């Protein structure tokens, strides 16, 4: 009887325990779901913050100012040191026109020479002079070559045949073409120096009364590139003998390269360092962006190579990579524009880098020698670098790895040995901006002509850009240099590979109005 009474209680307790266990399991499941949802919330919020940062940076890059200079009032420890240099003022007044311009005088006289006061005759007592610029666009003229023929009177009477001798004319840059050295120079300077598409040049010449096709002008450019290529090869040999080089690369599109016309090829740019007295800039067209492209160009070179963080420059035999502080600073500028939460850290990093640039500006203004610049860096830049490195190590663990500030700090730490290297040698620059400036004319021109049709055209562009940018580096007028080359190169002896007298720093131009 007692057992009959206790059995239902036991069953009830067991059922209650099972229900409790089931509820506990559900509760554990709900707790796991809560944790998972919280993790998803954090991840989604992080993703939203990152997308908002990307949107903010994109808007800043599209609509904001392009300069990386910090605005006045921005926290910057380097600004605490007041400069003793006097402020620069812009020149005022009318511009004085250079003496080498051709001048024509226009005289203005009075038609009535009677004095209005007394009626007597006026006499001339001086003049008031002023000048204006006169520009004649696309002035086309024709060079008529008249080669006189000569014969011998004695042979005409005494011999069975008489030989006629024609006076020779200088060899032309494109044999059988109507292109004179001056015309060829105008076309290649317009395209490769002024980023003028050939179809616009056709229109300009048409307004001057000369009808030429775009295909003809393109053919002139390709043949001009072939003519100058031995000189550019000599410039490359000179470049690879220098103490240190700079390098960068940018994409280009060549329709005849590969199976896919929309695929990217690359224009690589190598140049002398910023203190070189005989600077050379070489453009090198390549179908790809692999390490093999850099190894091929730099074969045999031993020395420093300043570049961005692109890995293909690492591991090349004989090359010591040098980092670019402008690239590092740019990442902190991006973080400053994109992330409002990390502005303090971004400002702090930019402040360290600004102090390094302050020293470089001082060295440039004082025109310090490479040895003096090395001493300045050892004494003043190294302590800043060590302080910056300690700050980076501490800040790395306090920021989100995928944030802009996190990526900037990681990039700086990964590149640190290369970024430190500029302090080892006074001939090295603090950044690679000098090469970026030399590659900018190509990127500007690319916006106008969009692509190259053939590989030969791309290679000719590389050759002609090399001449244009080397002229700029040596501060000479590319048009007159091209004229000199197109007159001289066709008349050189075949096999003569000594181009010393034609190098930009040696050549004597008749009309160097740079």
Chain Cα centroid distance, residue 413 = 26
CA 160, distance to chain mean position in Å, is 68
Confidence tier at 289 by pLDDT (50, 70, 90): confident
CB 190 within 8 A of CB 196: yes
3-state per-residue secondary structure call for 289-349: CCHHHHHHHCCCCCEEEECCCCHHHCCCCCEEEECCHHHHHHHHHHHHHHCCCCHHHHHHH
Look at 127 and 134; give whichever has higher pLDDT: 127
3-class secondary-structure state, position 224: helix
Q: What number is the average pLDDT over the span 174-198?
A: 91
Distance CA 444, CA 439 (A): 9
Tell whether the model's pLDDT for residue 386 goes beyond 90: yes
What's the CA gap between 435 and 270, in Å, rounded? 7
The alpha carbon torsion through 14, 16, 21, 23 (nearest 10 deg) reads 160
pLDDT of residue 71: 47
Q: Which two tokens stand for residue 342?
A: 């990390």
Which pLDDT value is given to residue 320? 92
Q: What's the confidence (pLDDT) of residue 56? A: 62
Provide mean pLDDT across the span 93-116.
83
Q: Which of 1-10, 17-26, 392-401, 409-418 has the lowest mean pLDDT?
A: 1-10
Q: Looking at beta carbons, which pairs linking 291-298 to residues 24 or more positions away fall under 8 Å?
A: 291/315, 291/316, 293/266, 293/268, 294/247, 294/268, 297/236, 297/268, 297/270, 298/240, 298/245, 298/270
Q: How confident is the model over 331-367, as pLDDT tens digits?
A: 998 888 877 777 788 899 999 999 999 999 999 999 9
- Say which residues have a Cβ less than 8 Å from residue 382's Cβ, sequence separation at least 6: 423
Per-residue three-class SS string for 363-428: HHHCCCCHHHHHHHHHHHHHHHHHHHHHHHHHHHCCCCCCCHHHHHHHHHHHCHHHHHHHHHCCCC
Distances (CA, A) of 417 to 346, 422, 430: 21, 10, 13
Percentage of the chain modeled with pLDDT above 70: 84
- pLDDT of 255 strictly over 70: no
Gap between the Cα atoms of 146 and 144, Å rounded: 6
- Kindly state the helix (H) or strand (E) to which residue 69 belongs, with its residue range: none
Q: What is the pTM of this model?
A: 0.77
- How many CB atoms are closer than 10 A to CB 320? 16
CA distance 20 to 81: 73
DSSP type of residue 475: T
Say if residue 269 is exposed, middle or buried (CB neighbours under 10 Å; 0-12, 13-18, 19+): buried
Q: How far apart are CA 295 and CA 67, in angstroms?
A: 34
Q: Is 265 within 8 Å of 287 (Cβ atoms)?
A: yes
- What 3-state class would DSSP assign to 32? helix
Which long-range contacts link 4-7 to residues 24+ away (Cβ below 8 Å)? none
Confidence of residue 76 (pLDDT cuts 50, 70, 90): very low
Supply the pLDDT for residue 57: 65
Gap between the Cα atoms of 304 and 292, Å rounded: 18
Give pLDDT tens digits for 449-468.
555 667 888 899 999 999 99
**Whether 222 contacts 460, CB under 8 Å:** yes
Strands 264-272 and 281-286: antiparallel
In this predicted structure, the answer to whether residue 90 has a pLDDT above a threshold of 60 is no
Mean pLDDT value across residues 37-55: 70
Residue 53, pLDDT > 70, answer no
Q: How is the chain split into domains, by residue range?
A: 181-321+435-514, 324-431
Q: CA nearest 376: which of 389, 359, 361? A: 359
Give the bridge partners for 246, in sequence order.
271, 306
Nearest to 229 by CA among 241, 240, 221: 221
pLDDT attached to residue 425: 92
**Model confidence at 197: pLDDT above 90:** no
**Which of residues 1 and 29 earns the better pLDDT score?**
29
Closest CA to 232 of 440, 452, 462: 462
Distance CA(187)–CA(464), nearest Å, equals: 11
Phi-psi category of 494—alpha, beta or left, where left has phi over 0 and alpha has psi -120 to 50?
A: beta
Average model confidence (pLDDT) across the chain: 83
Q: How confident is the model at residue 258 (pLDDT cuts 50, 70, 90)?
A: low
Of 11-25, 50-64, 220-234, 376-390, which gets the smallest average pLDDT? 50-64
pLDDT for res 25: 84
From residue 356, give the alpha-carbon distance in Å to each of 173, 221, 294, 387. 49, 44, 30, 12
Q: For residues 219 and 182, give the distance between their C-alpha atoms in angstroms, rounded to a whole number.
A: 16
β 165-166/244-253 pair status = unpaired
| Nearest alpha carbon to residue 471 among 485, 491, 458 | 485
- Specify whether the CB–CB gap between 504 and 470 falls below 8 A: yes
Q: How far is the CA of 163 from the CAs of 149, 153, 160, 166, 470, in angstroms?
A: 10, 10, 10, 10, 48
Phi/psi of residue 315, nearest 5 degrees: 80, 10
Q: What is the mean pLDDT of residues 214-225?
A: 93
């Amino acid at each position: 009887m007692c057992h009959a009474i206790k059995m239902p209680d036991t069953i009830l307790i067991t059922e209650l325990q099972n229900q409790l266990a089931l509820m506990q399991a559900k509760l554990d499941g709900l707790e796991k779901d809560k944790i998972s949802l919280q993790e998803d919330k954090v991840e989604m919020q992080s993703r939203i913050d990152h997308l908002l940062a990307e949107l903010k940076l994109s808007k800043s890059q599209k609509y904001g100012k392009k300069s990386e200079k910090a605005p006045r009032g921005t926290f910057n420890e380097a600004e605490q040191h007041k400069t003793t240099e006097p402020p620069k003022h812009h020149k005022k007044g009318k511009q004085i026109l250079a003496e080498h311009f051709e001048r024509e005088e226009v005289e203005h006289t009075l038609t009535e020479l009677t004095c209005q006061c007394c009626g007597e005759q006026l006499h001339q007592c001086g003049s008031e002079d002023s000048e204006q610029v006169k520009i004649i666009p696309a002035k086309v003229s024709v060079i008529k070559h008249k080669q006189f023929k000569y014969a011998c009177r004695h042979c005409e009477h005494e011999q069975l045949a008489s030989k006629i001798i024609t006076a020779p004319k200088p060899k032309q840059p494109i044999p059988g073409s109507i292109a004179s050295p001056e015309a060829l120079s105008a076309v290649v300077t317009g395209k490769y120096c002024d980023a003028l598409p050939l179809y616009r040049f056709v229109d300009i010449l048409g307004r001057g009364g000369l009808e030429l096709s775009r295909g003809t002008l393109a053919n002139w450019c390709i043949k001009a590139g072939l003519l100058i290529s031995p000189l550019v090869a000599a410039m490359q040999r000179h470049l690879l003998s220098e103490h240190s080089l700079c390098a960068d690369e940018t994409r280009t599109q060549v329709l005849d390269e590969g199976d896919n016309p929309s695929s990217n090829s690359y224009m690589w740019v190598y140049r002398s360092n910023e203190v070189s007295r005989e600077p050379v800039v070489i453009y090198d067209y390549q179908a790809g962006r692999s390490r093999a492209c850099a190894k091929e160009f730099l074969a045999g070179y031993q020395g420093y190579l300043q570049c961005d963080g692109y890995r293909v420059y690492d591991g090349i035999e004989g090359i010591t990579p040098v980092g670019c502080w402008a690239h590092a600073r740019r990442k902190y500028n991006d973080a400053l524009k994109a992330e409002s939460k990390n502005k303090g850290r971004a400002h702090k990093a930019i402040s360290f880098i600004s102090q390094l640039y302050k020293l470089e500006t001082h060295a440039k203004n004082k025109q310090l020698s490479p040895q003096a610049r090395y001493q300045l860096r050892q004494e003043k830049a190294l302590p800043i670098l060590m302080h910056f490195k300690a700050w980076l190590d501490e800040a790395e663990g306090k920021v989100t790895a995928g944030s802009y500030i996190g990526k900037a700090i990681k990039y700086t730490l990964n590149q640190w040995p290369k970024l430190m290297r500029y302090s080892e040698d006074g001939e090295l620059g603090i950044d690679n901006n000098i090469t970026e400036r030399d590659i900018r004319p190509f990127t500007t021109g690319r916006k106008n002509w969009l692509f190259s049709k053939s590989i030969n055209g791309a290679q000719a562009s590389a050759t002609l850009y090399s001449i244009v940018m080397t002229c700029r580096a040596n501060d000479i007028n590319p048009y007159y240099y091209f004229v000199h080359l197109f007159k001289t190169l066709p008349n050189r002896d075949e096999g003569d590979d000594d181009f010393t007298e034609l190098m930009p720093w040696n050549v004597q131009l008749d009309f160097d109005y740079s």
